[in-house]
Amino acid sequence: MRNIWLMTVFTLRESISKKVFIAFSIFVLLMLVGVFFAANLGFGDALKQSPVGFDKIMIMFKMGTANFVLSFGFLLSIFACASFIPSLLEKGTIDLFLSKPVSRAQLLGGKYFGGLLIFFIHIFVLICGIWLIAGMKYGHWDISFLWLLLSSLFYFAILNAVLLLFGVLTKSSGISMMLAYLLMFVSPLLANREKIFVLFPDKNTLKAVIDGIYYALPKLHEIQNIPKILALNEGKIEPQILISSFLFLLVVIYSGFYLFEKSDY
């Protein structure tokens, strides 16, 4: 555990030195300032009189704001974390690390958790900040909003695993970044595939392929919506969303670790 922690802190330090951490922090603070001013625009009374109900409209306001900001947060996090594995694997660096009494799994694990920690620090500030602003301004202290912390962490854990695997495989932060972005953008399309199928009703093979891809890939879009469903008590969460996404995470992480264990450097 000590070695994993050392590598995690080392990764945090690396991101601070590359100014990405600071850029991310500035982004989060700017977003919070924006939310603070939006909350002070004086539409509180109008919200209270809304026929939808104050609680519901507050949850939707908070979720909408948080998800909007988080979308940019995910893009920034991918950008911030994509270079961690390739920089470890650079010639002259990896030799130093592998010559120490530290297992390869600990080295890679520390880097992975380092990425998660950087992300978590920022979304913790962001989500708790939005929650505090809404609570102080409108007296709305709904705890279920904080589910966003967990769902976002799970969402980024999957993306970070993709960065890890393709970082080990290609040693290129560019390729890893592109694939993580691709996964992010494909996920809403796959989640709404039924609407796309209407466009070509006779192509059953194509539908089967797309269905296959949907079940094989993580359900990022649905994961992002879980807190909203929980907070608004809108229907059930399908277990397959969590199970298949978790399996994807495990397979991708295991493949990354396996490749790293077996590779020459």
Partner 1 sequence: MKIIEIENLCKTFSTTFGKKTVTALNDVTLSVEQGTIFGLLGQNGAGKTTLIKILLGIVFPTAGSCKMFGEDFTNLHLKKRIGFLPENHKFPNYMTGKEVMTFFGKLSGLENLYLTKRIDEMLELVEMTKWSKSKIKTYSKGMMQRLGLAQAMLNNPDLLFLDEPTDGVDPIGRKEIRNVLLTLKEQGKTIFLNSHLLSEVELITDRVAILHKGKIIREGNVHELTSRKEEYRIIVDSELESKLNESLKEKYELQKISSSTYLIRVDEQRPVNDFVDQLRSHGISIKEMAQEKNSLEDVFISLVKAEEKN
CA–CA separation, 221 and 143 (whole Å): 22
Instruction: By CB under 8 A, name the one of 51, 101, 201, 239 that touches partner 1.
Output: 101
H helical segments located in the chain: 2-17, 20-39, 44-48, 54-81, 84-88, 94-98, 104-138, 147-170, 173-191, 193-197, 204-216, 220-232, 239-262
Contacting range for partner 1; rule: CB under 8 A; set: 8-16, 33-41, 118-126, 242-250: 8-16
Angle at 255 (CA atoms; ends 252, 259), nearest 5 degrees: 145
In the block, residue with structure tokens 């974390």: 81
Q: 127: closest CA among 114, 112, 144?
A: 144
Instruction: By CB under 8 A, name the one of 12, 23, 102, 229 that touches partner 1.
Output: 102
Instruction: By CB under 8 A, name the one of 37, 52, 53, 95 that touches partner 1.
Output: 95
Contacting range for partner 1; rule: CB under 8 A; set: 40-48, 64-72, 95-103, 227-235: 95-103
94 binds partner 1 (CB under 8 A): yes
Instruction: By CB under 8 A, name the one of 71, 93, 192, 240 that touches partner 1.
Output: 93
Instruction: By CB under 8 A, name the one of 98, 132, 209, 250 that touches partner 1.
Output: 98
State the residues that interact with partner 1 by CB under 8 A: 3, 6, 10, 13-14, 17, 90-103, 262, 264-265
